[in-house]
Structure 1
Amino acid sequence: MSKAALSSLFHLSAPAAFAGALAFSAALTPSLVPRSGMLQGGLAGLAFAAAYLLVVLLLLIWQTLGLPVPRGRGAERAGASLKALGAVVMVAALAQASAWQNEIRLLMELEPVETVRPLTIALTAAVLAFVLIWLGRLFRLAVGVIERRLSRHLPPRLAFVTGLIGAVFVFNLLGNDVLLSRIYTALDKSYALIDRALPEDQPPPLDGLRSGGPGSLLSWGDLGAEGRNRVADPLDAATIAEITGAPALEPLRLYVGLGSASTPEERADLALREAIRIGAFERRRLVLATPTGTGWVDPAAMVPLEVVTGGDVATVSVQYSYLPSWLSLLTVQSYGVQTAQATFSAFHRYWQSLPEDSRPEFWLFGLSLGALHSDLSADLYDVIAAPYTGAFRAGPPFAGQSWQHLTADRAPESPAWRPLYGDGRVVRFINQTSGSTPPPAAPDWGPVRILYLQYPSDGITFFSPNLLWRRPAWLSGPAPHDVSPNLRWLPLVTFFQVGFDLLTATTTPAGYGHVYAARDYLYGWQSLLNDPPLSTEAMARLNALFRARNL
């Protein structure tokens, strides 16, 4: 390769490179979740490329409009100075990267690191930025090819705009219909195999009251991996009684897998018939626990519920997917909503037909995507005559319209990461600090109780497309205890930072990010159920169980 060709390969526009350097450096500043060197490099490289390509696009539009462009030796010297200044800024940011990461790690009670491997960050960022910038150049090439063909028949500016639209169409077609569809197919096959795998060390239960056991309407093999884990949870009546010091019942756990029936309506009907068979409506509490995308029901939420109720509870879950929640949200969200709605409708209709003085309390629960689907499962106008008792929603995704409305209409003096809504009779928000520093006193709960558990460091809750151009409300006022005070909003950069936090939100210790701790679920259930508190001795035994099970 000639020297000129090599120079052309790595040539960078000076203004765009300087903008990329600023974005690279800003991406290394604290966000919500600590990251490894390679992830930091990926984020920094993405930020560099995005800023670079944005400026190149603006310069291209500037030139197309025929506006003046600096040229000559003076412009070359200014460009070289800009590139040198950008390099200095990036080196300074790399030198500070470990300290910025340790700010977050210390907030999350993690050991500080001596280094986040600046060389790893730089190399990863360089490779990713190079690939993305060259994809951008291919896009520009496609625009030029289409523009030249059309310029014979159209005015220059119209030919350019049409070329731009045509290139977007071509790249979107290749990206979605070729690349992404194949990636999705591969992921779908992998997760389907995991869901269907039936380990030899997990035989069907011998208890007829458990899904897949003797007399059950459900096949053990059809429950899916997460369904079998849920049903086989080792917490039993004897263990609950040992913790609480009082007699306990065997908690009822009903789970219907994707393989149990063909449609959401059929699975909901099967769940209802199984619930009637095992006596779920004879328990004091009935909980529809909507799973996450993989079908997982968080044991950190279910264990404290079953303990504080003395086992006098039945939980019902119906699977709608085996994909991770972020992938389910992109591909099968409507199917998850249909499943949640069909399940709620079937159970509420039967529950409403029972004598009011003898039917159980009717609760909804969901974590993450399960919280979103649980929220969408019940239409106000369908339940207003016989409302369910309440709902517990943990880690609500940013896309939830109810959550968005409640946060936007919060009391002005309350922060967006812990809103106060109305007088607190219907909706309340809690986080990790609620057990030790409760919010201002509120009246007793009303007839319907809705509780949100959310951590300020949870990117799944606090991400938003608006971060591209707007400072979020949750960055106003003093920083919460698990968020670095040095987190600052910057256009474009913060969008990518919190976007990465969204994807890695489950890599944190319990009690931070999107990993909700059993102690916080316990506080939430106790607040909702209004049962007598556990004794000091019982709490000590329960906390020991949490530690033993890493909840």
Structure 2
Amino acid sequence: MTLPRALHISPEGALLAVILLGASLTPSLVPRSPELQGALGGAVGALGYGAWRAVQWLWLWLELPVAAPRIRRVLRGGLMLLALVVFPVLVWQAAIWQEAIRALWQAPPAGNSAPLRVAGIAIAVFATLILLGRLFVWLLRKASARSARFVPRRVANLLGFFFAVAVFATLFNGVLFKGVLRLVDVSSRAADALVAPELAPPDGPERTGSAASLVAWEDLGYWGRRFVASAPTADEIAAFWDAPARDPVRVYVGLTAAGDARDRARLAFEELKRAGGFEREILVIAVPTGSGWLDPGSQDSLEFMHRGDVATVAVQYSYLSSWVSVLVDPSHGLDEAQALFDLVYGHWITLPRDARPRLYLHGLSLGAFLSQSTVPLLDVLGDPFEGAMWAGSPFLSEFWRFVVQRREADSPAWRPRFGNDSLIRAGNQQGGLTEGRAAWGPIRLVFLQYASDPIVFFDTSLAFRRPDWLGDGRGPDVSPDMRWFPVITMLQVGLDMAVSLGVPGYGHDYVAEHYIPAWAETTDPEGWTADRQQALQVLFRDRPSR
């Protein structure tokens, strides 16, 4: 009894697939669920199998010598047996590696069934992709056979290849990919319009979305309404300081408030003036993430730190998650960010120096990238803003890459030291911001990033070069068992980006406890001490999320 041709597996290809699958299951920056482990392993294994089949075809096409049939049967049998033995060993070891990362991150274990789930999903994904590959070859051959009636054989083979590519590209890019994006767009738009019943328009006339506001409550968007409604009150802040405090000013303009990016920025600027934002001690131009979200841990901690005497202004540029925005157009939102900065800064420099707020920039993730893209450092040196605090600067950021590439040779890529530390400093969970070799200059630019954040450290060069951050002096939250493999490490870290949230204080999940020292170094609060900082960190560690 023989297997149908569609079920035949090359033993040589199977062994190579298992070896590459095992490499893909080694630790990366983020702990992965068994389901994702299996999906990645199956996909990488299928790529390895396809590569072997391509090499095998080329070998035969060149008419190079092959082993005798009897020797081939013995070798192929041994290779298949080896693949079947090695596969479960690698899957079992992968589960041990993943549990070690989870322990490092203080995350819960995946469970005893993890190896079985990894193996089952890897086999299913591998089989599916192999069948798709064989469908591609079948289409190629059919199209080539038809073309061969009219053109030379080699030209027919080339036409058949292009036909199969066109069919698959239309199916996966033109139909599936666009269909998924359309579904994400519709669902994100609906979520952004949702008005949570527990949130009511603010009563105070100085609040955005109130009856006196220039922006209707409905036009703030889902995250804008939460941002405005969740601000800490003067009473909460005063209780921490045991001294009088103020209600913070939060200005937010959603996508539906105006049809044009510059109109939304103008509306936010006018609302900021109306709410008294230019009369506060601290003024922050914040750029939200792709969905419009601003991290409460960052904003709340800054407002506590400065006794509520803070105004923050932001404009929504999308309702898609940051990773979707990156796929569609990572520069989308730059018009809003640039227009808002120009308006606020242009007005700020007209105010008397001793009677204007201290101006700062802020952004997280895609918001950090857009915020950095608006900074005209050479244009503002005559009257510079005070500084910026950027968290989780994504790999898209040319500014961040410049800092890493031009860092001091004795500093790691995950916490670079730039120049004499008077303009730029970078820190993580373990600090690094107060270790400047020179005093701060007129502008303080602070980067906060975790060494385990794949959104910060992804790079296509991972496909062919080991990154500096994966050397001996790696970050404290990066597995000591992580190794670099050509192409595979790029795929691993690329997948890590999609699952980098969920464990506070690691990956791309930034927390108030680490924002606090970053903001303190950026804004240099009056009367700030190490004891006061620790007290605020304890408060936010125990404070319920909003």
> For the superposition of Structure 1 and Structure 2, which TM-score range results when normalised by the shorter chain?
over 0.9
Q: Distance in 2 between matches of 1:400 and 1:63?
A: 47
Q: Is the 8 A contact 2:454 2:500 kept in 1?
A: yes
Q: Distance in 2 between matches of 1:156 and 1:385?
A: 70
Shift, 1:174, TM fit: 2.2
User: Is 1:524 the counterpart of 2:518 in the alignment?
Assistant: yes
Specify which of 426, 429, 444 is matched with residue 449 of structure 1.
444
Q: Is the 8 A contact 1:345 1:378 kept in 2?
A: no
Specify which of 406, 413, 416 is matched with residue 416 of structure 1.
413
User: Is 1:432 the counterpart of 2:452 in the alignment?
Assistant: no
Cα–Cα, structure 1 residues 289 and 69, in superposed 2: closer, same or farther, change >3 Å? farther
> Comparing 163-172 with 274-283, which one deviates more in the overlay?
163-172
> Residues 368-393 of structure 1, C-alpha deviation per residue, up to 9 Å, x if partnerless?
11111111123345434433221111
Per the alignment, residue 358 of structure 1 pairs with: 355
Q: Is the 8 A contact 2:425 2:433 kept in 1?
A: no
User: Is 1:236 the counterpart of 2:233 in the alignment?
Assistant: yes
**Letter of the structure 2 residue corresponding to residue 530 of structure 1:** D
User: Is 1:495 the counterpart of 2:490 in the alignment?
Assistant: yes
Shift, 1:485, TM fit: 0.7
Q: Is the 8 A contact 1:243 1:538 kept in 2?
A: no
Q: Distance in 1 between matches of 2:259 and 2:68?
A: 67
> Comparing 305-314 with 534-543, which one deviates more in the overlay?
534-543
Per the alignment, residue 174 of structure 2 pairs with: 177
Shift, 1:64, TM fit: 3.9
Q: Is the 8 A contact 1:308 1:534 kept in 2?
A: no
**Letter of the structure 2 residue corresponding to residue 516 of structure 1:** Y
Q: Is the 8 A contact 1:210 1:216 kept in 2?
A: yes
Map 1:250-265 to 2 at 5 A: 250-265=247-262
Q: Is the 8 A contact 2:426 2:433 kept in 1?
A: no
Q: Distance in 2 between matches of 1:209 and 1:71?
A: 86
Cα–Cα, structure 1 residues 169 and 409, in superposed 2: closer, same or farther, change >3 Å? farther
Cα–Cα, structure 1 residues 156 and 390, in superposed 2: closer, same or farther, change >3 Å? farther
Q: Distance in 2 between matches of 1:499 and 1:380?
A: 32
User: Is 1:135 the counterpart of 2:132 in the alignment?
Assistant: yes
How many aligned positions are there? 545
Shift, 1:175, TM fit: 1.6
Per the alignment, residue 266 of structure 1 pairs with: 263
Map 1:29-428 to 2 at 5 A: 29-70=26-67, 72-112=69-109, 115-151=112-148, 159-428=156-425
> Comparing 403-412 with 69-78, which one deviates more in the overlay?
69-78
Q: Distance in 1 between matches of 2:372 and 2:436?
A: 26
Cα–Cα, structure 1 residues 84 and 226, in superposed 2: closer, same or farther, change >3 Å? same
Cα–Cα, structure 1 residues 136 and 208, in superposed 2: closer, same or farther, change >3 Å? same
Cα–Cα, structure 1 residues 148 and 401, in superposed 2: closer, same or farther, change >3 Å? farther
Per the alignment, residue 509 of structure 2 pairs with: 515
1:333 counterpart SS class: coil
> Comparing 357-366 with 62-71, which one deviates more in the overlay?
62-71
CA RMSD of aligned residues (A): 2.2
Q: Is the 8 A contact 2:285 2:313 kept in 1?
A: yes
Cα–Cα, structure 1 residues 119 and 283, in superposed 2: closer, same or farther, change >3 Å? same
Q: Distance in 2 between matches of 1:438 and 1:542?
A: 16
Q: Distance in 2 between matches of 1:538 and 1:19?
A: 54
Q: Is the 8 A contact 1:268 1:318 kept in 2?
A: yes
Per the alignment, residue 539 of structure 2 pairs with: 544
**Letter of the structure 2 residue corresponding to residue 34 of structure 1:** P
Q: Is the 8 A contact 1:244 1:534 kept in 2?
A: no
> Residues 431-465 of structure 1, C-alpha deviation per residue, up to 9 Å, x if partnerless?
0111xx66744211111221111111111111222
Per the alignment, residue 481 of structure 1 pairs with: 476
Q: Distance in 2 between matches of 1:388 and 1:170?
A: 54
Shift, 1:144, TM fit: 2.8
**Letter of the structure 2 residue corresponding to residue 483 of structure 1:** V
Q: Distance in 2 between matches of 1:379 and 1:121?
A: 49
> Comparing 283-292 with 29-38, which one deviates more in the overlay?
29-38
Q: TM-score normalized by structure 1?
A: 0.93
2:354 counterpart SS class: coil
Cα–Cα, structure 1 residues 145 and 352, in superposed 2: closer, same or farther, change >3 Å? farther
Q: Is the 8 A contact 2:46 2:126 kept in 1?
A: yes
Q: Is the 8 A contact 1:467 1:491 kept in 2?
A: yes
1:103 counterpart SS class: helix
Shift, 1:541, TM fit: 5.5
Q: TM-score normalized by structure 2?
A: 0.94
1:271 counterpart SS class: helix
Q: Is the 8 A contact 1:258 1:319 kept in 2?
A: yes
Q: Is the 8 A contact 1:287 1:365 kept in 2?
A: yes
**Letter of the structure 2 residue corresponding to residue 241 of structure 1:** A
Q: Is the 8 A contact 2:415 2:428 kept in 1?
A: yes
Q: Is the 8 A contact 1:288 1:315 kept in 2?
A: yes
1:429 counterpart SS class: strand
Per the alignment, residue 499 of structure 2 pairs with: 504
**Letter of the structure 2 residue corresponding to residue 480 of structure 1:** G
Q: Distance in 2 between matches of 1:255 and 1:272?
A: 10
> Residues 378-426 of structure 1, C-alpha deviation per residue, up to 9 Å, x if partnerless?
3345434433221111111112111112111211111111111111111
Q: Distance in 2 between matches of 1:496 and 1:117?
A: 21
Q: Is the 8 A contact 2:237 2:307 kept in 1?
A: yes
Listed as ranges, the gaps of 5+ residues in structure 1 are none
Q: Is the 8 A contact 1:29 1:97 kept in 2?
A: yes
Shift, 1:538, TM fit: 7.2
Cα–Cα, structure 1 residues 505 and 7, in superposed 2: closer, same or farther, change >3 Å? same
> Residues 176-201 of structure 1, C-alpha deviation per residue, up to 9 Å, x if partnerless?
21111111111111111111011222
Shift, 1:270, TM fit: 0.2
**Letter of the structure 2 residue corresponding to residue 358 of structure 1:** A
